[in-house]
Amino acid sequence: MDNKALVDTLAANLDTDRGQVAELLSAFVEIVGEQCSQLNSIAIPGFGSFEAKKKQERVTVHPSSGKRMLVPPKITMSFRPSALLKQKIKNS
């Protein structure tokens, strides 16, 4: 399902116009991005949680040249589905 289909489905289920749903979805994505960039997690009961972790810088070896390289720190993000969501998927 792409963004347009998601907006259409939500608009139909909530009996509201597509513009409001698109705004809401855009704001949700913005908030999740902001919170995760600050290394905060967001938990949505019955759905799951978005978590951000900071990976420290590290030294690695380039596979083809054999040179040692410094990999800069970065923030990674993950989604952990709730037990309820896992159960719904399993039973469908």
R_g over Cα of the chain: 19
Closest by CA to 20, choosing from 28, 32, 33, is 28
- The tens-digit pLDDT sequence of the chain (92 residues) is 999 999 999 999 999 999 999 999 999 999 999 998 999 999 999 999 999 999 999 999 999 999 999 999 999 999 999 999 999 999 98
Domains of the chain: 3-91 (4.10.520.10)
- Residue 11 has a CB neighbour count (10 Å cut-off) of 16
Q: Which residue type is seen at 40?
A: N
Helices (H) and strands (E) in the chain, counts: 3, 5
49: tokens are 């949680």
